[in-house]
Amino acid sequence: MGQRRGLAGGEGGRHRLNQAPAVVLDLSGAEEFCSDPTPLERVRRAYANLEPGSRLEVRTPVAEHAFAVRAWSGKSGIDVITDVKEDGVTRLVLERRA
């Protein structure tokens, strides 16, 4: 059973009808190279490329990365539709407002 946090949407990550599948960004193995973009910088870039109304699904096994995505989303007014931890991996779905 996954561990859920408070959500902006509350739909448990299921897509609405006509909702395009989320773009998936897997942060596993991030921070391999020096001067790599930080995991959150990768999220920022992926989010910036989203079309309005579309979604970004971030997957990470690292609590530090999930913490950063939540905090940045909160500061940036980004809706976190799903925030769930299953089998050691946190899955956060961000929606770009239309």
Partner 1 sequence: MAEYAHPEVLVTTDWAAEHLKDPNVRILEVDYDPSSAYALGHIPGAALVDWKQDINDTVLRDILSKDKFEKLMSSIGANADTTLALYGDMRNWFAAFAFWTFKIYGHQDVRLINGGRRKWIEEGKPTTEEVPTFTASAYKATDANRDLRSFLSDVRNVIGRDDFRLVDVRSPAEYKGEISAPPEYANEGAQRSGHIPGAINIPWAQAIQDDDTFKSVEQLRELYGNVGIVPERSVITYCRIGERSSHTWFVLKYLLGYPVVTNYDGSWSEWGNGVGLPVEREGATA
Q: For binding to partner 1 (CB under 8 A), which residues are involved?
A: 31-41, 62-64, 67-68, 71-72, 75
- How do strand 89-95 and strand 55-60 relate by DSSP bridges? antiparallel
C-alpha dist (Å) from residue 62 to 17, 21, 83 = 31, 24, 14
Of 30 and 81, nearer to partner 1 (C-beta) is 30
Give 53 or 67: the residue with its C-beta nearer to partner 1.
Answer: 67
**CA neighbor of 95 nearest in space, from 39, 60, 52:** 52
Shortest CB 53 distance to partner 1, Å: 26
Which is nearer to partner 1, 37 or 53 (by Cβ)? 37
